[in-house]
Amino acid sequence: MATVASGALVNLEELVPPSPHFNHGTSLRVTGKLQKYDVETAIAVIVDGNASLKVDTQHLNLNLRIGSIFQFIGELLLVPDHEAILKARVGRNMDGMDLNLYRQTLQLLRDFQAGR
């Protein structure tokens, strides 16, 4: 079994150039509220504050409910007009997650890793 890349923890607002995470093929873990979902294309749009991201969910078997919080792990694809779409390989409903605690902990985690 090939080793799989870990999805780096990012906030949606960080997914803009020149962020090191905003690269074609980067493995990411993103979290946001489901705003839109197109059944035909299996493209979902998640939002967090003012930021949003398209997520390709065609490989997932997930009950996508508008307004719920979802977390996806996958690879970021940058299409020619700099639009980003995450090709998700794993997703899950995270309703009930404390998003403020999540953001604060993410920062603590990064500080800890940077200090190693």
Partner 1 sequence: MDAPNLVNIHVKLLAFDFLTLKPIPLDPTSFSRKGKRLSRAETVGIVVTRDFKPSRFLKFDIDDGTGCIPCILWLNQETSPHFSRRCPSDVRLISQMAADFSAQVQLGVIARVRGKITSYRGSIQITVSDVVIERDPNSQILHWLHCLRLARNCYDKVVVPPTA
CB under 8 A: which stretch of 12-20, 36-44, 77-85, 96-104 binds partner 1?
96-104
91 counts as binding partner 1 under rule CB under 8 A? yes
Residues 38-67 that bind partner 1 (CB under 8 A): 60, 62
Burial of 112 (0-12, 13-18, 19+ CB in 10 A): exposed
Among 18, 20, 80, 96, binds partner 1 (CB under 8 A): 96
CB of 104 to partner 1, least distance (A): 9
Among 63, 67, 81, 116, binds partner 1 (CB under 8 A): 116
Footprint of partner 1 on this chain (CB under 8 A)? 1, 3-9, 29, 60, 62, 69, 71, 73, 89-98, 101-102, 105, 108-109, 112-113, 116
